[in-house]
Structure 1
Amino acid sequence: MHLNTLCFLYLLLGVCGARSDRSELVSVSVGESVTLRTGVSVRINDRVLWRFGSDRADPPIAEILRRSYMLSLHVGALERFQDRLQLDQHSGSLTIHNCTSQHSGLYRLTVSGSRNTFNKSFSLRVYAPLSVPVVRSVSLSSRSAGQKCVLVCLLRNASWATLSFYSSGGVLLSSVTHTNNNSDHSSLSLPLQIQPQEEQTYSCVANNSISTHTTHFNSTDHCHTHTEPSPQYCLLLLLLLIPAAVAVTLLIVCVCRKHRRAETRTAGESV
């Protein structure tokens, strides 16, 4: 009870700083610039610190120190931020130019000095350009229940992207999400099994916070069915082949007999 009262008094005096555990999600495409806005104005005796990463021991990547007699702006020398950071001396907002996947992560802001300590964090996601999904046929198998065709939808540059299959009626059939951003060239794949004899239209949709691409296709575009002949067709074919086989056999027998007769006559004339 006494501890809660003491902390409340500290808050009134400005000792306990305001802190938000929620990070503001910010999205940007590779190669673009993004500004992380503080929402405050830098006053005399304020100190603005920007850190990258979740570790409290991480060194500042940018800093503003404002006094009545001077204004100091400092940008860290980390290689990933080389010549890319810009500080606004009035608000303390941080701009990152020419973003890459290496700039994705947590940015922590601390403003202290003339006010209660102000903390804010940003979760930055840098998206590579989303490619158009490609649909390919993987296999076609015949079973007692009917033929099954397996398709796969492929996506490049899939960081934080979702890949989904939809039927012609807009019904979601399956989906998968990529949550890793270790590389600008990550990939994602999603399989789908369909019955090719039922001609339908499908779509594979790739989307993230920046863009959406859709590929429409028909089941017959990738799954070529191989129909088996019906029993009636086989019987009709057999009925047609039997007379032809008998006729060919009779023709061969007649030719052989005629040839033998000719040989017999030739032998008799020789005697």
Structure 2
Amino acid sequence: MFDRSILLCLCCCRLVGVFAETDEVKSVSVTEGDSVSLQTDTELQKDDVIMWNFKTNGPLLVRINRATNDISIKEDVLDGRFRDRLKVDNQTGSLTITNTSITDAGVYQMTISSKENKNKHKFNVTVYARLPVPVISELPPNSSSGSSKCVLLCSVVNVSHVTLSWYKGISVLSSISVCDLNRSLSLDLECLDDSYSCVLNNSFSNQTTHLDNTDLCLPCSDCAFCCDASEVFIRLVASVLVGVATVSVLVYDIITSRKGEKETLSRSGMRVL
């Protein structure tokens, strides 16, 4: 009875070793167009056979036989989706996906088989779309309300799962988020004499557009307005001075012309009225 119990226990242990599979799924993130490498810390043996599948027990992508140094990459799997984009390392068993796209997102399973056991490791790959650079523009003044305040608008198009924010230094002035696909976002800011940044970010990366105070409130082609009241006053004074100078020149020309006419008539003996 004692010997049979030991034998049964050993058989159970043997079965556990053969079909060992970790419940842990390693999360990996990458920006679209970049490369991502999937690798485990498991020490490989000389006779290990490594297989990479897309999704759990899904289509086979790669098979590596370390004993014979044979590497087989399935170029035509999934209608050739991964053609010329898979690289493997025979020493570490790592899988590298180059020029990633949104369709590459999903679970990748690595199976390491030897004579003694079989281990499985899973990687959940998230591919983020490359973020566009925020564009800052200036809104025209609100003529209906008589407001001449300068308002800046930060905009992005075709984004999802992102946050758009205005910063002054490291302080957030305002922000807006979106979770829908392919949305356009815009966020306005009443500017002052300072420096600002418009930041678009997701949980993995960000894009920033900086704006210095020298770039703020540029005048449009058919109006003269700005956030800075002193600049408005200077422009107004300059316009008045130009107008006065123009009138002075015209008056001077008229007086000079009339004086010349009188002298001409006087010389000819005609009576000047």
Q: TM class, shorter-chain normalised? A: 0.5 to 0.7
1:20 to 23, 27, 31: 23
The alignment-based identity, stated in percent, is 29
Q: Residue 191 of structure 1 aligns with which residue?
A: 187
Describe the shift of the 1:14–1:153 C-alpha distance in structure 2 as closer, same or farther (beyond 3 A). same
Distance 1:102 1:178 in 2: 19
In terms of mean alpha carbon deviation, does 82-91 or 208-217 score higher? Answer: 208-217
> What is the 5 A alignment of 1:1-271?
13-15=16-18, 17-28=20-31, 30=33, 32-44=34-46, 46-53=48-55, 56=56, 58-66=58-66, 70-76=68-74, 77-78=76-77, 79-113=80-114, 114-125=116-127, 128=130, 130-138=131-139, 140-141=141-142, 151-155=152-156, 158=159, 162-167=163-168, 170-176=171-177, 188-194=184-190, 199-207=193-201, 209=204, 212-216=207-211, 220-221=217-218, 224=225
Shift in Å, 1:149: 6.5
Amino acid at match of 1:176: S
Distance 2:101 2:58 in 1: 20
Residues 25-76 of structure 1, C-alpha deviations (whole Å, 9 max, x = no match): 232562x4432222234325533222224xx352111122455xx4442212
Across the two proteins, how many residue pairs are aligned to each other? 207
CA RMSD in angstroms, aligned pairs only: 4.1
Distance 1:169 1:217 in 2: 15
Contact kept, 8 Å, 2:57 with 2:109, in 1: the verdict is no
Amino acid at match of 1:64: I
Distance 1:86 1:217 in 2: 45
- Provide TM-score, normalisation by structure 2: 0.57
Describe the shift of the 1:169–1:83 C-alpha distance in structure 2 as closer, same or farther (beyond 3 A). closer
Shift in Å, 1:81: 0.8
In terms of mean alpha carbon deviation, does 80-89 or 141-150 score higher? Answer: 141-150
Distance 1:134 1:71 in 2: 52
Amino acid at match of 1:47: V
Distance 2:23 2:209 in 1: 38
- Provide TM-score, normalisation by structure 1: 0.57
Distance 1:57 1:116 in 2: 14
Distance 2:89 2:43 in 1: 10
Unpaired stretches in structure 1, ≥5 consecutive residues: 1-5, 181-185, 228-271
Unpaired stretches in structure 2, ≥5 consecutive residues: 1-8, 230-273
Describe the shift of the 1:45–1:190 C-alpha distance in structure 2 as closer, same or farther (beyond 3 A). same
Distance 1:222 1:25 in 2: 47
Shift in Å, 1:171: 2.9
Amino acid at match of 2:23: S
Describe the shift of the 1:64–1:210 C-alpha distance in structure 2 as closer, same or farther (beyond 3 A). same
Contact kept, 8 Å, 1:162 with 1:178, in 2: the verdict is no
Distance 1:200 1:106 in 2: 47
Contact kept, 8 Å, 1:26 with 1:124, in 2: the verdict is yes
Amino acid at match of 2:200: A
Q: Secondary structure at the match of 1:19?
A: strand
Describe the shift of the 1:140–1:15 C-alpha distance in structure 2 as closer, same or farther (beyond 3 A). farther
Contact kept, 8 Å, 1:165 with 1:175, in 2: the verdict is no
Amino acid at match of 1:22: V
Distance 2:149 2:14 in 1: 67
Residues 94-138 of structure 1, C-alpha deviations (whole Å, 9 max, x = no match): 12233344434432222233335232314243553x543211245
Contact kept, 8 Å, 1:51 with 1:59, in 2: the verdict is yes
Contact kept, 8 Å, 1:139 with 1:151, in 2: the verdict is no
In terms of mean alpha carbon deviation, does 38-47 or 136-145 score higher? Answer: 136-145
Contact kept, 8 Å, 1:161 with 1:179, in 2: the verdict is no
Shift in Å, 1:93: 0.6
